[in-house]
Structure 1
Amino acid sequence: MFPTPVQKAGRGASIAYQVVLPIALLVWLLPLIGVALTSIRPSGDLAAGNYFGLPSGFAGLENYSAVFINSPIGHYILNSFKMTIPTVIAAVGLSCLCGFALAIYKFKGGLLLFFVFVAGNFIPFQILMVPVRDLTLRLGLYDTITGLVLFHVAFQTGFCTLFMRNFIKGLPFALIESARVDGVSEFRIFIHIVLPLMRPAIAALSVLIFTFVWNDYFWATVLIQGDGAMPVTAGLSSLNGQWVAAWHLVSAGSIVAALPPVLMFFFMQRHFIAGLTLGATKG
């Protein structure tokens, strides 16, 4: 039913795995390698049509300096933090409460409510563009970080609740029953018993949501118009000239914009992997 592990496969399969894996990894990394090389190319290389060859010189210092000097990318990055951090806190916090209620309590309509959370993840977000934009205009939240945060919280909470509910379902229910027998309130059970056990899941979910929201481009262009609330993903277009596409600057800005989620993943890597693999095995 399941594929045979490589360690138990034949010698031919093992050799093929060792050959194909580096090739597949290189192909997967080619776009990132191309962006990194373009970010250190002199502008003359692009004008001469040298898009995929080795750079004729090293212009990394000039390109990355120009990114911060010729564009408000620092302001855009700050806006991205203002958008992403409250979204992660609110979405993960709400999902912890909702997941606890849906996993622990049995009430009428609970399964239907859970299906609503799940069904929301299957709605193509593109079809929400017009109603969401109209709603933000009516509420006075268009072109504001607050409107972007509220939308991301509403859109991400469904997936987060699904994640947390399934995680809490796997916790030993005997701990909660014993606490109830001792007269502990439901809120204290959640805070002092369930929440500490959820730390790996919270860490994994925080990394995922941080990456999703930080890398969002679609809603940043739909709900934001001016530079005041523009996040870095949409603000990278300001690095292009009016008549000439400055791809070396756009590539350098893309590398700078990608650093925060990458650094967060490496700092939270141990907790992230633990949160994704906890409960994957028994015994």
Structure 2
Amino acid sequence: MNKTSPWFHVGMIPFTLLYISPLIFVIGVSLRPFDDITMRGLAALPAALSFEGFSTAFDAGTRGALLNSALVTVVTVIFTLLLASMAAFALSRFRIPFRRSILLIMLAGNLLPPQILLIPVAKIAEGIGIYDTLLALIVVQIGFGLGFYTFVLHGFMRGIPREVFEAAVVDGAGAIRTYGQIVLPLCRPALAALGALATTWVFNDLIWAMTVLRTETKFPITAALLNLQGSFVSKWNVVAAGSILAAIPPAVVFFLFQKHFVSGLLVGANK
């Protein structure tokens, strides 16, 4: 069936509704008063709408957790992409000994199950004095994302025509100028795609937050939601509202960078 055919879109409507039905259900629960859920059941249609769940979730620590998550995500994404782009540029343009082995080692680090690294990471954070700080979470996120982003950016930079770099050398551009004024602008689709992915991964991370953090006021939104479920175990509207608040920031980032994300994937496919 042709994707431009109207029958294709008609046939996709049931699958679309099935896909978004959990989200619609959570939104509906979050907008129902607690008394309405208690009296009529969780699956009933809402008899009234209320923002009681959102206000309760916001006052129960979600606001501070969202700020913590935003801080960790922004700093992590910026520094990870900066370091990864520098490493990819060096590995793709300079004759570094064993550069392929370096790339494979960096990529292999992302293939290790994180569960076997929880205790070593916690002990290292304690040993260098950053345990139970947002800095520890940022360092861990950068460390475990750097290899994958470097590997992806290395592929993009290897696809840049050699003539571009030869022209830069003729114009008297050094390595730093070539990196900043030529390579980074050409890799903008790849950086935008990786930035969108990194934002989603870092913002939604739970395992590393629970590994290096202990103080509740320093928790990101995922760990705060875990505490919210324990504190309001029977108040489903509060838990659903907290989940919606946690899902909004990465969704906004993804939709803002959607065009760059798709173009970055297409560039990677063409190369």
Fold-level similarity (TM above 0.5): yes
For 1:208 and 1:236, locate their aligned partners in 2 and report how far apart those are by CA, in whole Å: 21
For 1:180 and 1:79, locate their aligned partners in 2 and report how far apart those are by CA, in whole Å: 44
For 2:33 and 2:243, locate their aligned partners in 1 and report how far apart those are by CA, in whole Å: 17
- 8 Å CA contact 1:136–1:147 kept in 2: the answer is yes
1:211 corresponds, among 191, 200, 223, to: 200
Task: Give the Å deviation of 1:108.
Answer: 2.1
Structure-2 change in CA distance of 1:183 and 1:104 (3 Å): same
Output the amino acid matched with 1:64: F
Q: Does 1:37 align with 2:28?
A: yes
Q: Does 1:276 align with 2:271?
A: no
Structure-2 change in CA distance of 1:263 and 1:244 (3 Å): closer
Question: Which deviates more from structure 2 when the two are superposed, residues 193-202 or residues 234-243?
Answer: 234-243
Q: Corresponding residue for 1:25?
A: 16
Q: Does 1:7 align with 2:2?
A: yes
Output the amino acid matched with 1:50: G
1:68 corresponds, among 33, 36, 58, to: 58
Q: How does 1:225-236 map to 2 (within 5 A)?
A: 225-236=214-225
Structure-2 change in CA distance of 1:180 and 1:221 (3 Å): same
2:143 corresponds, among 136, 150, 154, to: 154
Give structure 1 stretches of 5+ with no counterpart. Answer: 1-5
C-alpha RMSD of matched pairs (Å): 2.3
- Per-residue deviation, residues 160-211 of structure 1 (Å, max 9, x unmatched): 1111011111111210022223432111111111111111111111111011
Identity score, percent: 37
For 2:94 and 2:207, locate their aligned partners in 1 and report how far apart those are by CA, in whole Å: 37
Task: Give the Å deviation of 1:121.
Answer: 2.0
Task: Give the Å deviation of 1:19.
Answer: 5.4
For 2:223 and 2:240, locate their aligned partners in 1 and report how far apart those are by CA, in whole Å: 14
Q: Secondary structure at the match of 1:133?
A: helix
Q: Which has the higher helix share?
A: 2
- 8 Å CA contact 2:103–2:147 kept in 1: the answer is no
Give structure 2 stretches of 5+ with no counterpart. Answer: none
- Per-residue deviation, residues 117-139 of structure 1 (Å, max 9, x unmatched): 22122111121111111111222
For 1:182 and 1:96, locate their aligned partners in 2 and report how far apart those are by CA, in whole Å: 23
2:174 corresponds, among 185, 194, 198, to: 185
2:209 corresponds, among 220, 230, 233, to: 220
Task: Give the Å deviation of 1:82.
Answer: 1.5
In the superposition, the TM-score normalised over structure 2's length comes to 0.91
Task: Give the Å deviation of 1:233.
Answer: 1.1
